[in-house]
């Protein structure tokens, strides 16, 4: 399959109600070890994306610039540490595909990894720090390894999403080494990192849009 600008627009559209639906749960996760506003902040950010989405889509010439504009809104509207991190996830993804309005699956994987790398650089987090990187990095590495497996795009991406969920699960027994949760020390053990779960939710929506595309 090929993934065009409309695919990415439809994916962003899916994120708007998703963050509304999971707002309270994500904020509850954040209240356990952080400020308690992750879900609220993400819903505020994507409400603003919804207001500007049609204009952004019409005014941008390619996937990269469209995604970057979405990231700029998130950066400006999402409070706390999540704004810069999720803003980067969107703003940096298209650095390798500027000028393109259609991506191959391999390019899509690189697109996603660029965003993840930007989070790693901005947050200076590694696997084991009890952050969203615990979900994102193992999952993207697994997906890259699967590119030459001969499997269908959706099968590979489904494994990626499952690994994101498992990576989020693995944050529960960890001591936090980054962010506000770090101040809790061992008291953070037993609680899920909220960013790892919202990362899983984001790409679960992309998987669903891929299935929708495949069904035609």
Using CA atoms, how far apart are residues 94 and 163, in angstroms rounded to an integer? Answer: 23
Is the backbone of residue 80 left (phi > 0), alpha (psi -120 to 50) or beta? left
Give percent of the chain above pLDDT 90: 82
The structure's pTM equals 0.94
Residue 186 is given by DSSP the state: G
What tokens were used for 117?
């790398």
Kindly report, residue by residue over 11-31, the tens digit of the pLDDT. 999 999 999 999 999 999 988
Kindly report, residue by residue over 73-116, the tens digit of the pLDDT. 999 998 778 899 999 999 999 999 999 999 999 999 999 999 99
Helix (H) or strand (E) holding 107: helix 105-123
Kindly report, residue by residue over 168-199, the tens digit of the pLDDT. 999 999 988 876 666 666 767 988 999 999 99
Q: Is residue 167 within 8 Å of residue 159, measured between CB atoms?
A: no
Which has the closest alpha carbon to 202: 106, 95, 142, 112? 112
């Amino acid at each position: 399959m090929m993934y065009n600008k409309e695919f990415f627009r439809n994916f962003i559209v899916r994120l708007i109600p998703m963050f509304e639906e999971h707002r309270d749960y994500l904020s509850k996760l954040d209240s356990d070890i952080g400020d308690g506003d992750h879900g609220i902040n993400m819903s505020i950010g994507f409400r603003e994306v919804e207001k500007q989405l049609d204009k952004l889509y019409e005014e941008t010439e390619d996937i990269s610039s469209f995604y970057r504009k979405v990231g700029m809104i998130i950066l400006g509207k999402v409070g706390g540490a999540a704004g810069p991190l999720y803003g980067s996830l969107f703003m940096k993804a298209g650095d390798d595909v500027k000028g393109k309005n259609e991506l191959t699956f391999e390019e899509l994987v690189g697109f996603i990894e660029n965003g993840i790398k930007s989070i790693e650089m901005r947050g200076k987090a590694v696997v084991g720090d009890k952050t969203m990187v615990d979900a994102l990095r193992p999952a993207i590495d697994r997906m890259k390894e699967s590119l030459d497996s001969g499997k269908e795009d959706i099968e590979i991406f489904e494994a990626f999403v499952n690994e994101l969920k498992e990576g989020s699960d693995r944050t529960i027994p960890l001591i936090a080494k980054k962010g506000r949760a770090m101040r809790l020390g061992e008291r953070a053990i037993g609680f899920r990192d909220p960013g790892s779960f919202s990362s899983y939710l984001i790409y679960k929506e992309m998987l669903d849009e891929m299935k929708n595309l495949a069904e035609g």
